[in-house]
Structure 1
Amino acid sequence: MSKIPKIVPWTSTEEYMSVAECLYSTDTSERKCGVAIVKAWRARARVPVAIDATANLVEMTIAGQEQRQGLTINQLRHLYTMALIRFVNTIVDLEQKGTYAQSIVSLAGRIGMPAWFVELRHAGTHEQLPSLVVLQSACNQALYWLKDYYWNKQTRSLPTDTQSHIREAISKYVATQGNVPSKSEGRKVNKKLIVAGQKALEAATDELTQLVGNLHSDAVRLYLVPVLLEPGFLVPENKKMQSFFPDCKLPSAIEAQWKELLQWFAECWGESLFIEELLNGMVSLLTPDSSELGIFELGDSSITRNHAATLIAWIRWILEAYYAPSNSDAQSLIAIDDLLETCLRNPGYYSRSVLKVVSDIDPALKQDLKPFVDYIGKALQALANIDEKAKSNSGAKSTVILSEVGMREEEALMEQRLKAHFSLTAANDQNDKLEADSSMDVDPVNTAANVDIAVNDAAVDVTAATAGGGAAAAQLAAGNSSRWSYVPQSSWSACAIGTLADNSIPPLDWPTWVDDIPLQIVPA
């Protein structure tokens, strides 16, 4: 992409706009909700200073109105003053970009901040605190200033259900466009029908234009591209109008139906934004993230082969219209680096077809991509042969993986390790057996015997109880004994975290004898 991605704490543009509406709502509960969401944003990532200042000022306004927790007038004056000082400093510091520091008054004038905000900051910092009435009025004025100089420039009014509105507007436009008679048919068709079709097309165009004008650039990726890639839009639901492998040619009727609209979208947001987002969306459908076990799958089961062939045909059309080959003098309107990386990272039948399309469009890249295309093709053919052989032998559909033999060997090895570790044998009471084996304080190899564990020539007698309460808590016996024992579950009692069953704190000191153990280097 030509743009560097930016990490933001909100998940979508609509969430961002809803918080703005909450912060400037007349309902106190909604304003509290907006402040709470901004606090959650602070935990996710860095919040822009304008949003942070807005939330602080709104929170102070609510506190002043409710005087929560019995705040005195003097306490409120200090809180208001600190919020206003932070507001001025954080906003003005963004303009401090030169080699030498400039005065706050000049920087504030540059961004359109009223000078009396700076004077109020100076008074609250170096002079006597302003009165509560003045501070409350300044807080409200600061919120209005932030709304005019930040929020109104960032937010745009989107419908409640943006994706549904986009879907309806595009469907209406495409349908009316197809119903308008052409000039060659004008003599055969009633003039009233022609006029009615043209008016319907103008109404659909105006509705779509108004919607597109209100869309934020983020909405292209979040809403517009997913709608265009749904069945019934760029890929028609009628299978006869879809493309087919291996040619992947785009039907002329589909191209004529969508060409003008796609070009208009590209003009609205720029080829580098809309076209590249559309390409990435198509490639994401064709090349889902591959797992380590099925990296050379024949295709994604979520889309049909004809659907995939139509998407590849659209990719060819887009590259022919907006991409200039590497060896040409023309400047390419879009970049395909992300497309190539996605296809090479997720090899498969569809990604191989996309790489072949790129090779046809750009002969300079053909030599570089040829080894990858050939390798993916050979791998797919080998796996297809194995799959066909397995189907003929078993008569059932089998799942082909790259390292099936290795997985079986690893599974057998893990099973041997489990048996060696747990020494699974037949027992009369299987539940008690499993509970005893799950303990971390005793070796489960012999749960009926006393095991002597030698630690620096000091033996610790460990007893495993096999009857009674099953698995029980390990507790330190009374006195100074180092003996550990298991007690029945019926005798368990509640105790504080970090203490033993008798509410005593175990010694947590690092034993001195550990320092005397020599290091043993294990030969490689």
Structure 2
Amino acid sequence: MFSFEKAVAWQNWNEWEDVYNLLYSGNQASILQGVAKVSAWSARLPIPTAVEVTASLQQNMYQDPNVLGLSLSIIRFINGVVEPFKQMHPSNSISSIGSSLGIPDYITQIRHSATHGKLPSFDFACFAAQEALKWLQENYWLPQLTAIIRYKNDLHTSIIGYLTKNEDPFEFFQPNIIASFGVDALIDIMLNKNQNRGTLKLNFMKKVGDLIQETSKFLSYFPAAVGMKLAEKMAQGNSLASIWIEYLLNRGLAPRKSVSMILNCADPEILQKSLPDPVIEIIGKLDHEKIQWPPTSIGNLPINTENLTLLTDEFCFAEEVQEIPENSSKEDVKEETVEQPENNEAESNEQPEETQKSDGSSDEIELW
């Protein structure tokens, strides 16, 4: 049984890459959007110091410009970078460690002065912050991005080798790498632009299905991840994804309820163009098994909102307030309140008939 050493706050590495592009976009609105996303991450789980400091420096330059906040961010930057080395070499000064890591001396001096209550000018602090951001980009963001691109390419090449030469696709990859990049790499191959309904070969589909099945032996959720990703692509109008969904459902390699839930949330006009009859029949059989979401459940929200934050999704649930007509007196309101239970009782007696009609009177399959 494999276990993963560390949980991260971002949904996937594509989201991490999007935030990097926002933070280093050079556009104030985009930068602040990246800052908000990092704030959402930090509310979920601890985040790397490099990510935290990058967002903090940008926030104190653009969102709430002030020299105190910027100085504190610089202190956090120096402490976060130097501290691990200081613990290993306690006799070395912070300045010497910073210099050995390529951090300009004046940034270390700002940290020293601000710690003792002497703040720099805002312009000088901004200049130092820009250099700190450059250091973070060169020593954290770009190396990480390079590794992500390399893993994606290597996994893509490995899967192609399996499909064409029967090579072991994941022999040299750790499970966390497969979990992070394997689904996207496989989906890219399955939905290759050179493929269409006429050229998609059954032998190719069988090998992909076998790969998903084998991978599920050490990553149990891999088939579900592939199936739900395909369902999202199909909900966006990808007709080739519908063929794969049908095939994987028939082989028992896709979660029927999860696929049904995603498609039920899709745009009907888009979905009608990509949903084949066999998939409609499969999903139609699940109507009586549909998950009954509570009124305030996340299940009522559109797809891709699994990780909600108040920074990007403002929502609340409140009881309906009865409106009082302007010409009504308090006595009228009381009388209406007393009569209300009788109306509710009458409505509750009629409710089963309405439910029975919506379930049984029409042969049409409701997909949304």
TM-score between the two structures when normalised by the length of structure 2: 0.47
TM-score between the two structures when normalised by the length of structure 1: 0.34
